[in-house]
Amino acid sequence: MICQNCNKNEANMHMKRIVNGRAAEVHLCKDCARSLGYGEAFTGFGFGGLLGELLSKGEQIGSSVRCSFCGKSFEEIAGDGKMGCAECYNIFYDKLLPSLNRIHGKASYSGSRPQKEASVELRIEELKVALKAAVEQQNFELAATLRDRINDILAEGGEQ
Amino acid sequence: MGAKWYLGTGAQNDVVINTSIHIARNIRSFPFPSRLSLPEKLKVNSVIRDASEAIDDYSFNYAEMKMLSQSEVVSLAERHLVSPEFASSRDGRALLLTEDEAVSVMLNEEDHIRLQVMYAGFALDEAFKTASSIEEQLSRKLDFAFDDKLGYLTQDPVALGTGMKASVVLHLPALVSTSQITKLIATVSKLGLSLRGSYGEGAAAKGDMFRLSNTITLGISELAAIENLKSIALQIAAQERAAREEIFKTPVIEDRIYRAYGVLKYARMIDTNEFMELISLVRLGAVKGLIKMDCASIEALMIHMQPATISLSVDRPLDRVERDKLRAAMVRQNLG
Ligand SMILES: [Zn+2]
Ligand SMILES: [Zn+2]
């Protein structure tokens, strides 16, 4: 597919826009997407192209490790540019770091923090909701992970 | 329809149309939206909906996007209450919206929670205060995905950190007509901000409306990001005012403004592009006191004249010709 802006390069970024009363997809090459201001967070346009490209340039992919919480592999993350869950950041941190540095610089976080660590009850309550959803859908792998987490938290709580 | 945020008249409204704060959050115990099945998404929606009911001072209407028609959803996007991405697929998505439409929360867009606060005029401090109060109250009920080094975790690593984007929409007709805008867009990007068309892109921005936003979410606090945005926005507004002084030195601009007003007042058919171009001139004329029209009703008109919002106002799909006729009629009516 050819870029709709320059009509020259291959379009590798596909973004949703509202055009004449319809949600339409716009196809742009990487350069046009940047010059039109698409290289930013929160556009809600999906960053698959950008992150995928960053990742595949430097990082070694090709490993079969999967996230223990959501089951996504690093290869899949590099493919669609989307992290699967919070735990993915933990598991794939080293592989992700070069890309994070390229996107954000070597900065470390200095913004606001959650008021207090979420209470044990709250965390367990949410995990139970997630567990129920996983069981209803027969996603037993996720259900097992969630159950382990609940048990871990309960065990920690018990020790204190 | 009750009073909406855009019907108010805000500070600096000769240049600043509105201010918005977006905050992205995810619940730790659920995978991010792209890894959720439909039933899981519905579960996430209900968990967040429950948490929202405990928020003081704000009450939300809740809507599953599946229950709305395609035009209704696109109209929400035209009114900037949801993103185009959100409007493009309705499955498993829901919206929390206050009556005045100043606060909206998209559920299961790119993240579980995309909170938006939008006020008329230049109101960064007020909008941030509202957004953080709501975020803080939600955080008491929900365990947000957070990491000490990376901050709030998002599905797209580009947004992680504060997960906050602050924006002001600026009306910059004089900077466009004096061709200063392209250079400005380049300068601003070096300062950790972006400037892009609010309706349409780049120099082809419709209605000369531009959105100025922070792009840095890691290594800078929310307050610092807002102060940075505030000072650049004020500088751009000052530059725009100076450019207006300059273009009003010739009679050409006054002629263009009155011609634009004449066309809007008498046209029998008008498409979105022409409407946006002319209404931009009329707004400039109104600010200069040439045309008796208040800015709030011009902003409301811009929003109501977008294609899906027009179709929605007659409750049936319209073809192009019908829509352009209806738009001209509605504009005539609004111009009195
Ligand atoms: Zn191109
Ligand atoms: Zn994961």
Question: What was the pLDDT predicted at A122?
Answer: 77
Query: Domain range spanning residue A71?
Result: 47-104
Low-confidence residues in chain B, pLDDT < 70? 1-9, 200-204
- State yes or no: pLDDT of A160 exceeds 50: no
Q: Confirm whether pTM is higher than 0.90.
A: no
Contact A139 B37 (CB under 8 A): yes
Q: A91 and A52, same structural domain?
A: yes
pLDDT at position A62 is 53
Give me B3's structure tokens. 């009073």
Q: What is the pLDDT of residue B288?
A: 92
- List phi, psi (to 5°) of A151: -65, -40
Closest alpha carbon within chain B to A118:
B143
Name the helix (H) or strand (E) containing B95. Answer: strand B94-98
Ligand 2 midpoint to CA A49 (Å): 20
* Domain count within chain B: 3
Q: Picking from A1-10, A16-25, B64-73, which range would have the lowest pLDDT averaged per residue?
A: A16-25
Q: Give contacts of A16 with chain B, Cβ < 8 Å.
A: 83-85, 87-88
pLDDT of residue A52: 53
Structural domain for B175, as ranges: 168-246
Residue A22 confidence class, pLDDT cut points 50, 70, 90: low
Among A1-10, A56-65, B164-173, the range scoring the smallest mean pLDDT is: A56-65
Residues B122 and B3 in one domain: yes
With bands split at pLDDT 50, 70 and 90, how would you rate the model's confidence at A53? low
Q: Are residues B277 and B130 in the same domain?
A: no
Q: Is residue A134 part of a domain?
A: yes
B40 → closest Cβ in A84, A99, A133: A133
Model confidence at A45: pLDDT above 50: no
* b/e sequence A8-40, b meaning 16+ C-beta within 10 Å: eeebbbebbbbeebebeebbbbbebbebbbbbb
Buried b or exposed e, range B51-61, using 16+ CB within 10 angstroms:
bbeebeebebe
Judge whether residue A55 has pLDDT over 90. Answer: no
Distance of alpha carbon B203 from the chain centroid: 18
For residue A139, list chain B residues with Cβ-Cβ distance below 8 A.
37
* ipTM of the modeled complex: 0.82
* Chain B residues with CB-CB distance to A137 below 8 A: 37, 39-40
Same domain, B56 and B136: yes
Question: CB-hemisphere CA count at 13 Å for B262?
Answer: 6
Which numbered ligand comes closest to the C-alpha of A34?
1
Could you tell me if B193 and B281 lie in one domain?
Answer: no
Residues with CB under 5 A from ligand 1 (ion): A 3, 5-6, 9, 29, 32
Which of A92, A99, A112, A138 would you mutate first to test chain B, the one with the most B CBs within 10 A?
A112
How far from chain centre, in Å, is Cα B3?
Answer: 17
Most confident of A40-49, A104-113, B255-264, B272-281: B255-264
The pLDDT, as a whole number, for residue B215 is: 85
Where a domain ends, among A44, A61, A79?
A44
Q: Are B205 and B173 in contact (CB under 8 A)?
A: no
